[in-house]
Amino acid sequence: MPRPRPAGAGGEKDSALTLAPKDRSILAELGLDARQNLTELAKKVNLSKQVVSYRIKQLERMKIIRGYHAIPDIYRLGKAHFRVFVKYHQLDEKTEARLVRELSRCPEISWLTLLDGDFDLEFVVWSDHIMEFERIYDDILARFGSYFQEKYFSIGTRVEYLPFRFLHPDSTPGRALVFGGAYDRRQLNEQDKRILYETNHNGRISLAELADKLGISVGVARNRLQGLVESRVIIGFGLKIDHKRLGLTYRKVLLKLNTPAKERIDRIAAHLRRQPQVIFLVKTIGAYDFEFELLTESNAEFYHFMKAFRSHFAADIKGYNSVIVYDELKYGQLSLRSL
């Protein structure tokens, strides 16, 4: 499977789109609250509803906005967040295409990411228990394991979605969306499952369209969706943008710590929340102790970011690996079969 060069690492940087300040404001506001209505959004960005609607449609048309999605706290559904990183070995393009196609079709795989660097691919399985994960993992290894030079898996116990401050670096850090922890499993009825599924795949679907898909009234659709939000099965509504269209490079950084004590991880996390480039924090159990994801405009910016970060936490960091994210073919997407 041919891969594009990373944005910011060559010719693509020259063709990157430059966003108007109005568009940056709209995207920043939609980042973790993508379902808010046009009236609310227009007030926040000091524009008319008509202008906001037009600019959103333009951002969609230019494919800067790739989609909107309800963000579930899968731990409230009794599931765990299993993550697998793979480095290829003698894998040709045809076989890679088949691997990616089959992983994309697997209903239990909720995240599928093409990488470059220390690993080539990441996939996430949201499953009810480790035996279910083992079944899926073993099936993939049986078919493609001979092409995996290196692999490791971890459990993500806490994931933080951070506001899109890279669009407004001088802005004050805002509220993050967090999933993870130990919760009693919440049982969903069939209507709740369908509403969660539909909004997970289209976070801005109208209540009228949602009601029509489920064959229920708008009022029932509104109440069921509100119930999922109030119970924090849905923690928010995210916005997916195409970072390459903006000339940004998307990286994951995987940290090994000398002493992964809670207070040390909390101190690192607090520091990273203040950095406008950072968009995700992940607490893990596995080969790495903590991970974060960030967007930078150039390799030089990433170099200076990591140099300052490693200097600040020199006593804590044993080592790190990093990968460039080329594309996310799935990003936190549920299937009805997995619910």
pLDDT in tens, 213-232: 999 999 999 999 999 999 99
Measured CA to CA, the distance from residue 295 to residue 21 in angstroms comes to 18
Q: Which of 13-17, 80-84, 103-107, 151-155 has the lowest mean pLDDT?
A: 13-17
Q: Which of 26, 126, 115 is nearest to 73 (CA)?
A: 126
Q: Are strands 65-72 and 80-88 parallel, antiparallel or unpaired?
A: unpaired
Q: Is residue 262 part of a domain?
A: no
- Asked if residue 109 is part of any domain, the answer here is no
Q: Is residue 267 part of a domain?
A: no
Q: Does any domain span residue 38?
A: yes
Q: Cβ of 87: how many Cβ atoms within 10 Å?
A: 18
Kindly state the average pLDDT of the residues 276-288.
95
Radius of gyration of the chain (CA): 20
* CATH (domain of 20): 1.10.10.10
Please give the torsion angle defined by the CA atoms of residues 158, 246, 325 and 256, in that order, rounded to the nearest 10 degrees. Answer: -50
In a domain, 57, yes or no: yes
Nearest to 318 by CA among 260, 279, 238, 271: 260
User: What does residue 262 show for φ and ψ, rounded to 5 degrees?
Assistant: -55, -45
With beta carbons less than 8 A apart as the criterion, state whether 103 and 140 touch: yes
User: Where residue 15 falls among pLDDT bands split at 50, 70, 90?
Assistant: low
Give the pLDDT score at 70: 98
- 257 lies in some domain: no
| Residue 287 lies inside a defined structural domain of this protein | no
Neighbouring C-beta atoms of residue 209, cutoff 10 Å: 14
| pLDDT of the residue at 5 | 39
Encoding tokens for residue 249? 């490079």
Closest CA to 237 of 5, 85, 29, 2: 29
Q: Are 8 and 299 in contact (CB under 8 A)?
A: yes
Are the beta carbons of 294 and 329 closer than 8 angstroms? no
End-to-end CA gap in the chain: 31
Give the percent of the chain with pLDDT over 70.
95
The mean pLDDT of 43-66, rounded to a whole number, is 97
Confidence of residue 143 (pLDDT cuts 50, 70, 90): very high
Task: Report how far apart, in Å, the C-alpha atoms of 209 and of each of 196, 214, 239 are.
Answer: 14, 9, 20
Question: 35 is in which domain, residue-wise?
Answer: 16-67
- The number of distinct structural domains making up the chain is 1
CA atoms 76, 79, 80, 86: torsion sign: negative
pTM of the model: 0.91
Task: Tell me: pLDDT of 288 over 60.
Answer: yes
Q: Is residue 139 part of a domain?
A: no
pLDDT at 182: 63
